[in-house]
Structure formats: structure tokens, C-alpha cells
Structure 1
Amino acid sequence: MGGRSNPVFHRVSTLLLAAALTACTAEGAPAPAGQPAGPATTAESSPPNPAEIAANELGFVPVLMYHQLAANPAGEYDQTPAEFRDELERLYREGYRPVTAAQYIAGDLDLPAGTHPVVLTFDDSTGSQLAFTDAGAVAPDSAAGILAEFGARYPDFRPVATFYVNNEPFGNDPRALPWLAANGHEVGAHTADHANLASLDADGVQRELVQNVRAVTTAAPGITVRTMALPLGVYPRDRSLAATGSWDGTAYRFDAVMLVGSNPAPAPYGAIDPGGVPRIRSGRGAVPFDSGYWLDWLAAHPDQRYTADGDPARIAFPRQRAAEVDARWADRANPY
């Protein structure tokens, strides 16, 4: 586990405790496969009345954390390719639509009305996440290959994720980072050597992050590294260095620092701490409060989930939550 507790999470701590002590049930009947879970808008129509779809753009957002995909998973955070496909099917069926971590933290959430954002993140840049066949195609059982195939089957499910990479990512394949960038994925920092940042002095922390950013931008010129994930979930002793610093004449500044576990993240328009964004761990039921647990919880408590109103120029939410909007977003607030 890495990082500090989240203040928004404590706002609903009583409700969460009750949920943890009872079995969570899914809300209603799922939408048919291949169909959005909520009403959607078209270019010819206006977004629906937010109240009609119970829009809540101050609700929680699941940021899911993945590691290895393997036919015989060895780690408690790992999944088989089939389990990952099943989780994507569930996300689609329940109306989730992917955004990158950078889009999430920037509040750049242009989603169809009635749908919910989800952030898919992958740590450690392993070959199970992205690899290529002998013919040069993306390996179909890699995470990137599965996402690409899923997006081809469901065109309204934008198949994007954030990959937190170390140096020499994906077996040091020079095709990897340019492919991710060309296909809309985000490449984030995970330090050069997957370092335990708490074990390093300030110079060592900044060296790890600068060398990582340099490696990414050299391999894929034009990429801006906007977010980072803490290896092992561990902060440096000076926590500020996880987000900003410099070494050998190169500076870095990340919009968000991602933790390890274990609850949904707050909406970007309210009381969010960009220096400690919580993530939900994937797994096979071996991890407490894993993705299955929280997706069940969000389905059973739809009023707590981020639901888009379909209008990216406005932030819609029930009027009683108006005090939660951060002043930076006040001009876009649309209470009902």
C-alpha cells in the first residue's frame, strides 16, 4: 500500500463501512452487450436534462491498476488475458468509458451522457502489457492488443490507457512507446529503475525521475510526461519531489502522482489531491477491496459514481453538492 489517506474518501467513510459489511448487489439489469448503459447524445441532439439522467460530475472515478497478464498468474495483482477481457466487458456493459490519467486530472472528460469515466493504468512496462508478433503486429494477448481488439468491436469504447514505464520498457523494444503515443495512450513515469524512492536521498530521487523522463522523450519525441506512479506505492522522504524537481539541468513537473490502492478517486472538480490519487488494484479476488469489490460498490451506489451529463462545457451535479466544487471550476458549475 502506498501513500496517504484521501479526504474525500473519509466523507463517505460511514457508508463505505456499511458497504464493506454487507454484500454489494448490482443495480438493475445490465444494458445489452454492445449498447451504452445510459442515454447518449449525438451531434444532432442536445445533451439531456442532467436531472433526467441523474448526472453527477462530482462523483467517484475508478482508477484501475494492472500489472501482469499471464496464462498462469503468479502474483496477487495479476490477471489472465481472459479475466482482463471479462473486466473490460463488465466496464463497457456498465457504461464506463476510458480516459487517460492526464485527461482525468485535467478535468478533460468529454463523455456521452449517462456514462462514467474509468482510468486504466498499467505499471512496470512488462511484455505482457505490450509486445509485437514476428509480423510486427501487436500481440493479441498483450494488454494493448486486447484493448485494441475490444475498441474495434465496440467503437464507442475508446481503448486508451496510461502505461507507467521504467527505462528499457517492454523489453526495450523501440517500437513500443511510439506505438502507444500513436494509438492515443498516455505514457507516464515510473522511475528509471523501479526504485524505492524512500531509500534515496533527494538527489537520487530526482535522478531516477529525470532519467526516466529523458528515456521516454528520447524514445518517443513529442511525448509530454504528465503523470507518474509511485513504485511500490512509496513516496520519497520529501514528498514534493514525487511531483516536481530537477537534476543535471532537466526539470520535471507532474500533474498527478498515483498511489497504490485502494478506493475510487474523487472527481477532478472537487477536493482532489493531485499529489496522491488513489487507485484500485486488479486481481482475482485475492486482494482486499479490489476492482471487483469497488465496481460492485459503485453499481450499488450509483449516486456516488461520476455520471456524465454529455456537455463538456458544464459540470452537472445535484444542487446539494454545490459547496464541493473547487473555485477553479466555478464558472462551469451546473447544479440542478
Structure 2
Amino acid sequence: MAKIAVTTLRTAGSVLLLCFAAACGSPEPTAATPAAAVTTTTPPPDPAAVGANELGQVPVLMYHRVDRTGLGEYDQTPEKFRAELDRLYRENYRPITVSQYASGEFDLPAGTHPVVLTFDDSTTSQVAFTPDGAPVPDTAVAILEQFRAQHPDFGTTATFFVNNEPFANDARALPWLTAHGYEIGSHTATHANLARLDSAGVQRELVENIRAITAATGRPVRTLALPLGISPADKALSTAGSWDGTAYAFDAVMLVGSNPAPSPFGQVDLTAVPRIRSGRDDIPFTSGYWLDALAAAPADRYTSDGDRTRISFPRARTAELTARWTAQANPY
């Protein structure tokens, strides 16, 4: 009788059984006669068991300066920023980019929650490099990279909304961010108040900014954060337009601080996505307030079912799903 050795390899979402026949006339596997392989797929988790609600709210956190001096109401110290990342990790949040949020194309483990980290104004407190090209300690990106190394399962990423000549016009910055998995979005060329510009001026601000970003990264620019949260008089121009032969179209337009954003599969207006300010503790309705509120009402928070092919939620919330996602609906 042939002797069978069975080796079990566990991979993400599946179990691979390799069976090797040996002796008693059974040939050894070769390139011509490979080992038999059988793949069995682990069923996705029960949505009810993990409290899945993919129609829940998503915190989109908005950062500006990360510094220890002269802090405005939108700013954080490096210590507070680290503490906030620690809290997000402990509470099972996992970062996604603005583009991923807008498209609904993200894949999170069952029971975890998406969070979007965004940075406005492209200051050197966010990104700066030492002479040898390493992130300067205590800058936002240095803290993010250190957190990534300490917690690989956090999947650290963020969206940086930049102006022209970003990060003190350091030519290394945008290519480095792109190569390390961060998204670059538009914040206009000069941080303009778009409501004070005519239509041509609005479109020029956006096109000049997009041209500068794509020249540095080779990537399209899909998202916009409105400076000061102010839309142009013709709001449609914040979503799409053209100037000097260059057209633009944004998948999502971000406001200034407000409240958690709706699920990307629910009743969301992608031309005006709310964000939560992460700033000084004495400012009301900042990130600490809203993270506390979501922790106190977990049924209202977006919780992943661990299966990117379906959208799971309690059946009572079915009316919140927008029609374009009906084919993936998995109410329970």
C-alpha cells in the first residue's frame, strides 16, 4: 500500500492540501507529474457574528500641522498624533485612502472599521527629509511610517491634499509619498478661496495644481479638499471642469471639519464629504469627541464583514443602501 504524506498549508482565506505518494509503485511528483493539489475555500465569516454593518458611519480625520509650537485649532502635537493612531489601532480601525472610500474598493478584515486619514496644506510638519532622504523625526509621515513598522496589520496609508510647491518645494516629497502607498490629492495651486474667483480662476487653480502633482508623481489626481471648506460660486466646478486644454474630474470633494461621513454604499454626497477635525482638546466636536461617540454606539459605525464581494448590514437598514450597490447587498 502506498504511503501518503499530507502537508497542510494555510493561506489567507484558504487551506491547501498537498498529498505526496511514495513507495509501492507510486511515482514521486516530478515536473511532468506534479503533486496533486486540492484547494478548499474557507467560508466568509457570519456577518451577524462580527456585527457587520457596511452602511455605518466612517470617520474621515482631517489634520494640518503636527508640531509642538504655535498650535492652531486644527493642529496636533506629535505625541497627540501618536496617541490617536494608538487609539485607532486598539479600536480596530484600519486606514484607507479617500479614493478607496469614494469607490468602495477596499478590503478590510472582518470586524474592523475603515478610517480615512487626510492632511491639508502640505507643510513641512507633515513631510520633511533629512539629508540622506529619511523622514525627519516627529513629522507626520515619520510617525506614520514608524507606526506601520510596529503594526504591519494596521495597513498605514493616508491622503495628502497639497498645494503647488508642497512641503517647502522639496522635489523628493511627492514621489516618495506615492512610492510608499500614500495618495496625493488637490488642495488648489495657491490655497485659494474659490468663492472669490470667477469660473476661469477656479478652473485655473485646479488645473495648475493637478499639472504640478501629475508631473511629480505620474499619477492621476482623483480627489480634492476645498481650501477653508468653501465651494466656488458654481459648485459644479469643484467636481469637473477644464482650463487651457486640460480637463479634470474628481471622484470626491472634501469639506472642512464636521462629523463622520456616511458609508460609501449609503446616502453619501461625494461632492461634499464631511471630515472631522483632529486638533486641540479645547475645541468642540474634534476627533476625540466623535471617536467616543462611535465607540458608544457601535451599531452606527461601519464594520466590515471581511468579504469584499458583498455589502452586509442589518436588514432593518436596507433602505439606506443606494441603488447602484443592490447587486452586492447582503442584508441579514
Matched ranges for 1:1-336 at <5 A: 42-44=12-14, 45-221=42-218, 223-336=219-332
| Residues 72, 280 of structure 2: 8 Å contact kept | no
| Displacement after TM superposition at 1:242 (Å) | 0.6
> SS where residue 84 of structure 1 aligns?
helix
Q: Tell me how far apart the structure 2 counterparts of residues 332 and 183 of structure 1 sit (CA, whole Å).
A: 31
**Paired letter, 1:74:** L
Q: Identify if the C-alpha distance between structure 1 residues 73 and 282 changes in structure 2 by more than 3 Å, giving closer, same or farther.
A: farther
Corresponding position of 1:28: none
CA displacement at 1:73 relative to structure 2: 4.1
TM-score by length of 1: 0.86
CA deviation vs aligned residue, 1:188-230 (integer Å, no higher than 9, x gap):
0000000000000000000000000000011111x11010000
- 2:134 and 2:13 map into 1 onto residues whose CA distance is 34
Contact 1:73/1:79, CA 8 A, preserved across alignment: no
The alpha carbon displacement at 1:42 in A equals 4.0
Give the total of aligned pairs.
295
Aligned with 1:280: secondary structure? strand
Q: For residue 24 of structure 1, what is the aligned residue in structure 2?
A: none
Whether the aligned pair in 2 keeps the contact of 1:64 and 1:121 (CA below 8 Å) is yes
Q: Find the aligned partners of 2:77 and 2:103 in 1 and give their Cα distance.
A: 32
Amino acid at match of 2:193: N
In structure 2, distance between residues paired with 1:189 and 1:287: 27
Q: Between 278-287 and 109-118, report the one with greater CA deviation.
A: 278-287
Which residue does the alignment assign to 2:17?
none
Code of the aligned partner of 2:198: D
Compute the displacement of 1:285 (Å). Answer: 1.4
Any idea what SS the aligned residue of 1:260 has?
strand
Q: Give CA-to-partner distance per residue, 1:229-261, whole Å, 9 cap, x none.
A: 000110100000011000000000000100012
| One-letter amino acid of the structure 2 residue matched with residue 154 of structure 1 | H
User: Offset at 1:47?
Assistant: 2.5
More RCO (CA 8 Å, sep 6+): 1
Structure ID, larger Rg: 2
**Deviations 1:132-159, CA, capped at 9 Å, x for gaps:** 0122111121111110110110010111
- The residue identity in structure 1 corresponding to 2:145 is A
| Residues in 2 aligned to 1:225 and 1:131: alpha-carbon distance in whole angstroms | 22
Query: Which whole-Å CA distance do the structure 1 matches of 2:43 and 2:209 have between them?
Result: 44
Q: How big is each residue's C-alpha offset from its partner over 1:238-296, in whole Å with a ceiling of 9 and x where there is no partner?
A: 00001100000000000010001210000000111010000000112132210000000
2:113 partner amino acid: H
Question: Would you say the 8 A contact 1:63–1:121 is kept in 2?
Answer: yes
Deviations 1:39-93 (CA, angstroms, capped at 9, x unpaired):
xx94334321000111000000000000001122421111110110000000000
Unaligned runs of 5+ in 1: 1-40
Per-residue CA deviation, residues 71-128 of structure 1 (Å, 9 max, x unaligned), is: 2242111111011000000000000000000000100120000000000000000001
Q: Please tell me whether the aligned partners of residues 281 and 287 of structure 1 are also in contact (alpha carbons under 8 angstroms).
A: no
Higher strand share goes to which structure? Answer: 2
Q: Which amino acid aligns with 1:257?
A: V
**Structure 2-normalised TM-score?**
0.87
Q: Does the Cα contact within 8 Å between 1:73 and 1:80 map onto a contact in 2?
A: no
Partner SS, residue 184 of structure 2: strand
Change (3 A) 1:286 1:60: same
Amino acid at match of 1:160: T
| 2:256 counterpart SS class | coil
**Backbone CA RMSD of aligned residues:** 1.0
